Amino acid sequence: MQIRHAGDQQEQTGVTIESLDAVRDDFVQQQEALDLAIVENTGTLEEFRRELHEAEAKWDERRALLDTWKDRHTALEIQKTQVESDLKHLAETCIHELNETIEAVCLKYFETLPPTELEAREHEYRELREKMDSMGAVNMMAVDEYQEAEERFAFLSTQRQDLLDSIRDTNQAIDEIDSVCRRQFKEAFEAINAGFKEAFVSLFGGGHGELRLLEGAEEAEAGVEIVAQPPGKKLQNVLLLSGGEKALTALALLIALFRFKPSPFCVLDEVDAPLDEANVDRFAQMVREMSATTQFIVITHSKRTMETASQLYGVTMEEPGISKIVSVRLN
């Protein structure tokens, strides 16, 4: 009964651990999903950063080119003004000194620009114009998009840290539960084993009995093996004992459980049936000693066990088909 209770407690603890494992697995899945989202958003953020960097580089390049063109435009304006002034002066000189216009003087004394050179100059002009048109407009929303991605990244990082903290706390709780279970199991096993050894010797009138944990498993999950050595026999597994020896061994274990954690009531049904008279006397003596803390209800046909009881209840049939309960209080 106590073993069953302890087994139920162990099963409940196992269910709790499985539940916590499920919660931990759920947290791990959420963490993995968040990690994936963080990786995706990190990639998007890096893409935005790259685009922003490229846009800033293009902006700087275009700004430098624009400044260059402005400088060139200013220089050309100055040169144009100077050339216009020089042309005006040359035109006036041609009129006063040569009595001819400057156009007539250019046609007489200067050659016009060759067609090949003119085409080269026009081609250079078109290339510079196409470069300016291909630059396009600068994305003025890049800074806002970068800030939005940065805030999203900070939010996901906070959520990830919360999940990591929850997983750490859950693992700590599982470790604490495992530690308490191991400690309680060890204490209960040692106390019950000591009581079993004492009860075994009392019931058999000697010999040796003990409880052992099966090897090859953890302490909290290992099975329990009962080893008994009745007087005059070698140490062996309880399965190799006779029926009476098995009954006494089971009684010794039951008594050890009751001594570890007493119960106000105990019902024994025909436990003394396979015992001989000497063993019945030792069993009855043991029940008499433990009746100070536990009330025993024994179902038996043994007269020696009945002699130990303080009160007897029986069923008789004075007339055929009519049963009657009879009670006897023994002093």
My answer on whether 174 and 267 are in the same domain is no
CATH code of residue 292: 3.40.50.300
Amino acid at 47: E
pLDDT of the residue at 118: 66
My answer on whether 17 and 144 are in the same domain is yes
My answer on whether 143 and 267 are in the same domain is no
Amino acid at 88: K
pLDDT of the residue at 307: 82
pLDDT of the residue at 4: 67
Question: CA 304, 309, 315, 316 torsion: positive or negative?
Answer: positive
pLDDT of the residue at 191: 86
Both tokens assigned to 171 = 């693992």
- Which residue ranges in the chain fall short of pLDDT 70? 1-2, 4, 7, 98, 102, 105-115, 118, 121, 125, 132, 135-140, 216-221, 235-238, 331
My answer on whether 23 and 141 are in the same domain is yes
Q: Does any domain span residue 216?
A: no
Both tokens assigned to 13 = 């603890």
CATH code of residue 170: 1.10.287
Domain final position from 133, 150, 178: 178
Residue recorded with tokens 């002034």: 85
Q: Does any domain span residue 256?
A: no
Q: How many CA atoms lie within 13 A of 296 on its CB side?
A: 26
Measured CA distances, 151 to 36, 37, 147, 268 (Å): 17, 14, 6, 72
pLDDT of the residue at 138: 58
pLDDT of the residue at 330: 76
Both tokens assigned to 137 = 């407009």
Q: Does any domain span residue 203?
A: no
Instruction: Let me know: does 299 contact 271? Beta carbons within 8 Å.
Output: no
My answer on whether 170 and 269 are in the same domain is no
What's the distance, CA 244 to chain centroid? 52
pLDDT of the residue at 1: 59
pLDDT of the residue at 217: 57
My answer on whether 159 and 298 are in the same domain is no
My answer on whether 17 and 154 are in the same domain is yes
Query: Average pLDDT over the chain, rounded to whole?
Result: 80
My answer on whether 162 and 13 are in the same domain is yes
Domain that holds residue 276: 263-331
Q: How far apart are CA 294 and CA 265, in angstroms?
A: 6
Q: Does any domain span residue 198?
A: no
Q: Does any domain span residue 147?
A: yes
Please name the residue ranges forming H helices in 205-312: 243-260, 277-290, 303-308
Instruction: Let me know: does 297 contact 265? Beta carbons within 8 Å.
Output: yes
Measured CA distances, 318 to 76, 223, 312, 321 (Å): 142, 52, 18, 9
Instruction: Let me know: does 51 contact 142? Beta carbons within 8 Å.
Output: yes
Q: How far apart are CA 83 and CA 78, in angstroms?
A: 8
Q: How many CA atoms lie within 13 A of 85 on its CB side?
A: 6
Q: Does any domain span residue 9?
A: yes
The H or E element that residue 215 is part of is: none
My answer on whether 268 and 173 are in the same domain is no
Tally of structural domains, the chain: 2
Domain final position from 157, 178, 199: 178
Q: Does any domain span residue 230?
A: no
pLDDT of the residue at 248: 81
Domain final position from 178, 203, 221: 178
pLDDT of the residue at 137: 64
pLDDT of the residue at 133: 75
My answer on whether 160 and 277 are in the same domain is no
